[in-house]
Chain A
Amino acid sequence: MTWYLRPAGEVLLAIAAAPLAAPLFAGWIAQCRAWMQNRSAPPLIQPYRMLHKLFQKEVALATDASFLFRVTPYVLFATMVLAAAIIPTVATGLPFAQVADAIALIGLFATARVFMALAAMDVGTAFGTLGARREMMIGFLAEPALLMVLFNTFLLSGSTALPRLVETYRAHPSLIEPSLLFAAVAFLMVLLAENARIPIDNPATHLELTMIHEAMLLEYSARHLALMEWAASLKLFNYACIGFALFLPWGIATRATSNGLGLVIAVASLAGKLIVAGAALALIETLSAKLRIFRAPEYLATAFILAVLGLLVHLLLGGQA
């Protein structure tokens, strides 16, 4: 009778935990940024308040919007939730862990991006198509760099499955080597570009002509907008967790330590890492300015070359594939 309760509970927990936690991370970054810029900070739960407010409102839907426009917020949210369930955030033995490896995860993010771009083109406004074009451009520039980062980590562990990667690192801490430093910097640059952060895009901008991500949301309102915003904060959370799995795997519960204490440690270490990462992101955003859109290729090419350098360092130092 109860044999299915435990797996079902695990699945539900894996699906529900990340979406509930992700807005907190976004709120923490906003708070840090406000402190660093000498503004009075919004409360930590501000993103939840905004979601709550948006869910209460009535949707104002453009007359010409098709089903694609209405389905996209749900699809976007679902892909991000599923991605969070696949990434080893706290443990390597999560129920969805084997559904997709890191490359398929990139593919999942690409699906979300394509849906968002198509929805932005659906109503046929000038800003929507502009945002869609720019977003797809950033996408095709970032993907090669991201893949080269994964190549680096694959060479060390022989696997593109993130849980396996974490377990290999935990089993052989000596595997961590200089090539990963290059890869980590490249990954950070890709993370900033993919999540519409400064220096590529400014999440707090009100100037339509410079928008990328925000321009695609202009026609959305109420619950649709809430889901889109929620998905965006989840995406940032997901990227941060991929970064932890690739470069800072300490604390994640492996098969050996997957008991109560291990999970508590894992959750605590994840929280600690997120706090530090959020502050670091806020610092980067405070210290740098937004680039012109046509400087974006240079920026992402730099990320790509860093990742390739990491690869060459690994191969030249005689590492075994």
Chain B
Amino acid sequence: MNGIHDLGGMHGMGPIAPPAEEPVFKFDWERKVFALFCPAALAAGFNVDEFRHAIEQMDPAHYLESSYYEHWLASFETLMVEKGVLTQEELDARYDELKGAA
């Protein structure tokens, strides 16, 4: 599919600006999202291709604006709901609850 993820050859994406050093995970939430991959794949029964496909379904503007592990998070949420492990209502309700408590 020729979606927004198909970035090869696009112009105007700006400088790469590689830093000399960077941590493996910049934030604790990134560390968590990364580590969730295997248990999430086992729990929901998805493979890497389905995982990637779910990333490619993201809204194109959001895809470009969000960071790598946000793509993973979006994919997990989509697949958990699609595979029937969680419902969107459960996710939304828990988010609201946490937001209220924050």
Are these two chains actual partners, yes or no?
no
What residues of chain A have their CB less than 8 Å away from a CB belonging to chain B? none
